[in-house]
């Protein structure tokens, strides 16, 4: 819904539909290539419509804004991980995607604690 409203404000009210064109001709094919066609049935499904597909693509990138300090490869990797979690959600249901996301967060916390020296795997006296 928000993507469709944004399209209206990006000259969609004049019938130009710039955001819709960009989504259908640039973002969706790029996402299809990056995901090696695994999201193809979802991206090119007429049942969902361009706004839902656009929301899928843009929201996985939107929550990665916090990684702006990261390099472009790190941001692309985080975006790709979000798309992978969407794929798992569509194919196997949301509990598996949530479980993998929670596991990822816990692993990142553990690695961060080990790097900073707060926690270690070896016991020292």
Task: Give the model confidence (pLDDT) of 65-99 as tens digits.
Answer: 555 556 677 777 777 778 888 888 888 888 888 89
Distance CA 112, CA 107 (A): 8
**Helices 72-92, 94-116: crossing angle, 10 deg rounding:** 150
Q: Both 116 and 69 in a single domain? A: no
**CA triple 75-81-85, angle to 5 deg:** 145
Same domain, 54 and 88: yes
d(CA 60, CA 113): 27
Q: Do both 34 and 88 map to the same domain?
A: yes
Range of the domain at 108: 93-125
Q: How many independent structural domains does the chain possess? A: 2
pLDDT in tens, 103-119: 988 887 888 888 887 76
- What whole-number distance in Å separates Cα of residue 14 and Cα of residue 35? 34
* pLDDT tens for each residue of 92-106: 888 888 898 889 888
Residue 87 and residue 106 in one domain: no
Residue 75 sits in the same domain as residue 124: no
Q: What angle do CA 64, 65, 66 make, to 5 degrees?
A: 85
Residues 65 and 80 in one domain: yes
């Amino acid at each position: 819904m928000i993507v469709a409203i944004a399209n209206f404000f990006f000259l969609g009210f004049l019938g130009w539909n710039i955001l819709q064109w960009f989504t259908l001709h640039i973002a969706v094919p790029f996402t299809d290539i990056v995901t090696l066609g695994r999201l193809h049935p979802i991206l090119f499904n007429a049942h969902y419509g361009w706004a839902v597909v656009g929301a899928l693509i843009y929201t996985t990138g939107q929550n990665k804004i916090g990684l702006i300090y990261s390099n472009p490869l790190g941001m692309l990797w985080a975006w790709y991980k979000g798309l992978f979690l969407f794929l798992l959600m569509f194919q196997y249901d949301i509990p598996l995607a949530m479980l993998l996301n929670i596991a990822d967060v816990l692993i990142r916390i553990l690695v961060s604690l080990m790097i900073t020296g707060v926690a270690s795997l070896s016991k020292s006296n």
